[in-house]
């Protein structure tokens, strides 16, 4: 049975997302290491757009559908009553189900991390009935992307599109296995892009929002466009009486995370060590009225409210009450945009920040460290 997790008005499709915390790595200050080409995680060239006179949904599904798989997982969980009172076995099996799609003909599969988290057994079933034993190469709880591998050759492959070019109003087609109903297709439009507050604050994912019907079991399945290209991984739903919204991880982000997983077995996320808050003129007046040692301008911006000791931000002399204006030349308007800009950087590689401090604009160089993880 699919596993459900609900937060206040939020349902994650499949098994629940885990939290991710902080571990520190040593930061080298020597010359930059040589940049290696990322591993190939997709070997299907982008397909040509379909002609308008054709039924684009049918054609798009024909292109991607054969590469969409069902993922069945089995987890062993402890039964505390079994060991103490002898009620049942000491361990029990928990089953879950989700979706995924093949990105390389030799059996590389993208799915959600929460679908395969903690799995002891993974089975992958293709629409043509073939079934394979799957191995989880790794998963990233922060973005909910995971990579599964099966031993096979000449499998059907889904073509990956470009999620950076998406516009609200475009076709959005979901394929997956909701409620165990294999190869289910639903369609709608892209309702919005860059939804950074879709599943809670502090997210590092600019989700794609769609009104295509997505249900438990669709987790990890593809969201595709009218050209038959995967533009996202269906991840979460947000429900309310009378309706609901669906969210997908953009495929460009998923591809970058998958490349890291294939290379090292895990994803890398830089961090600099600041706590931020959106500044408004009203908040600025309240801060200035408290008589603190620093004064902030009465405008909209990104305010540094705390600098964590012994972090890259502290080492770069970023201070409380600084306003962050730019990250690597990119203008930022709110804390989430700073978060996403930092996440696009690399651990140990210099990052340029432009700040406003005491009415002056200054530039600082920060060397991000690896975001610590909590097991």
Contact 342, 317 (CB under 8 A): no
Spatial separation of the C-alpha atoms in residues 192 and 205, rounded to whole Å: 14
Q: What band does 52 get if pLDDT is binned at 50, 70 and 90?
A: low
Q: Average pLDDT, whole number, for the chain?
A: 85
Contact 351, 272 (CB under 8 A): yes
Contact 232, 243 (CB under 8 A): no
What are the tokens at 286? 């309240």
What are the tokens at 154? 């000449």
Q: What band does 8 get if pLDDT is binned at 50, 70 and 90?
A: very low
Can you tell me the mean pLDDT for 23-28? 41
pLDDT tens-digit series, residues 164-216? 999 999 999 999 999 888 889 999 999 999 988 776 655 679 999 999 988 88
Closest by CA to 206, choosing from 341, 78, 74, is 341
**How far is the first Cα of the chain from the last one, in angstroms, to the nearest whole number?**
26
What are the tokens at 280? 């408004």
Closest by CA to 158, choosing from 106, 108, 101, is 101
Q: What band does 245 get if pLDDT is binned at 50, 70 and 90?
A: confident
Closest by CA to 225, choosing from 304, 170, 149, 168, is 170
Residue 50: predicted pLDDT: 64
Residue 124: predicted pLDDT: 96
Which residues carry out catalysis? 114, 144, 219
**Segment among 185-194, 247-256, 288-297, 305-314 with least mean pLDDT:** 288-297
Instruction: Name which residue leads in pLDDT, 85 or 142.
Output: 142
Q: Is the pLDDT of residue 65 over 90?
A: yes
Q: Is the pLDDT of residue 365 over 80?
A: yes
pLDDT tens-digit series, residues 82-107? 555 555 566 667 788 999 999 999 99
**In which element (H, E) is residue 258 found?**
helix 251-264
Can you tell me the mean pLDDT for 143-156? 96
Residue 82: predicted pLDDT: 56
What are the tokens at 330? 């990119």
Can you tell me the mean pLDDT for 357-365? 92
286 φψ region: left (φ > 0), alpha (ψ -120 to 50), beta (else): alpha
Instruction: Name which residue leads in pLDDT, 37 or 8.
Output: 37
Can you tell me the mean pLDDT for 311-316? 95
Residues of the chain above pLDDT 70, percent: 82
Q: What band does 45 get if pLDDT is binned at 50, 70 and 90?
A: confident
What are the tokens at 242? 């009378």
Q: Which residues of 246-281 are buried (b: 16+ CB within 10 A; e: fewer)?
A: bbbbbbbbbbbbbbbbbeeeebbbbbbbbebeebee
Q: What band does 131 get if pLDDT is binned at 50, 70 and 90?
A: very high
Contact 300, 281 (CB under 8 A): yes
Contact 57, 171 (CB under 8 A): yes
Q: Is the pLDDT of residue 225 over 80?
A: yes
- For the chain, state the CA radius of gyration: 23
Spatial separation of the C-alpha atoms in residues 47 and 242, rounded to whole Å: 37
């Amino acid at each position: 049975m699919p596993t459900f997790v609900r937060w206040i008005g939020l349902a994650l499709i499949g098994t629940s997302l885990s939290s991710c915390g902080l571990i520190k790595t040593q930061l080298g200050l020597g010359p930059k290491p040589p940049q290696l080409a990322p591993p190939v995680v997709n070997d299907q060239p982008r397909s040509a757009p379909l002609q308008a006179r054709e039924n684009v949904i049918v054609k798009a599904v024909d292109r991607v559908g054969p590469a969409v798989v069902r993922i069945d997982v089995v987890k062993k969980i402890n039964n505390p009553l079994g060991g103490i009172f002898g009620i049942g076995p000491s361990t029990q099996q928990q089953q879950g189900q989700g979706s995924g799609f093949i990105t390389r003909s030799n059996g590389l599969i993208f799915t959600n991390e929460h679908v395969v988290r903690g799995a002891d057994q993974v089975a992958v079933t293709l629409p043509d009935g073939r079934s394979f034993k799957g191995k989880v190469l790794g998963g990233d709880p922060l973005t909910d992307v995971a990579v599964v591998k099966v031993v096979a050759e000449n499998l059907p492959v889904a073509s990956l599109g470009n999620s950076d070019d998406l516009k609200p109003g475009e076709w959005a087609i979901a394929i997956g296995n909701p409620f165990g109903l294999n190869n289910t297709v639903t369609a709608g439009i892209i309702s919005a892009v860059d939804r950074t507050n879709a599943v809670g604050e502090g997210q590092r994912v600019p989700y794609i929002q769609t009104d295509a019907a997505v249900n438990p079991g669709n987790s990890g399945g593809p969201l595709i466009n009218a050209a038959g290209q995967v533009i996202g991984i269906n991840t979460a739903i947000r429900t309310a009486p009378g309706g609901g919204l669906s969210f997908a991880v953009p495929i460009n982000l998923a591809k970058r995370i998958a490349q890291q997983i294939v290379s090292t077995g895990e994803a890398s996320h830089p961090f600099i060590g600041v706590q931020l808050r959106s500044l408004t003129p009203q908040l600025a007046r309240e801060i200035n009225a408290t008589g603190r040692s620093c004064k902030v301008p009465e405008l909209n911006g990104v305010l540094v409210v705390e600098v964590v000791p012994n972090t890259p931000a502290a080492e770069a002399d970023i201070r409380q009450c600084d306003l962050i204006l730019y990250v690597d030349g990119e203008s930022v308007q709110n804390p989430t945009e700073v978060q996403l800009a930092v996440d696009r950087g690399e651990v140990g590689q210099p990052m340029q920040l432009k700040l406003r401090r005491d009415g002056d604009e200054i530039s600082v160089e920060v060397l991000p460290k690896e975001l610590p993880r909590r097991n």
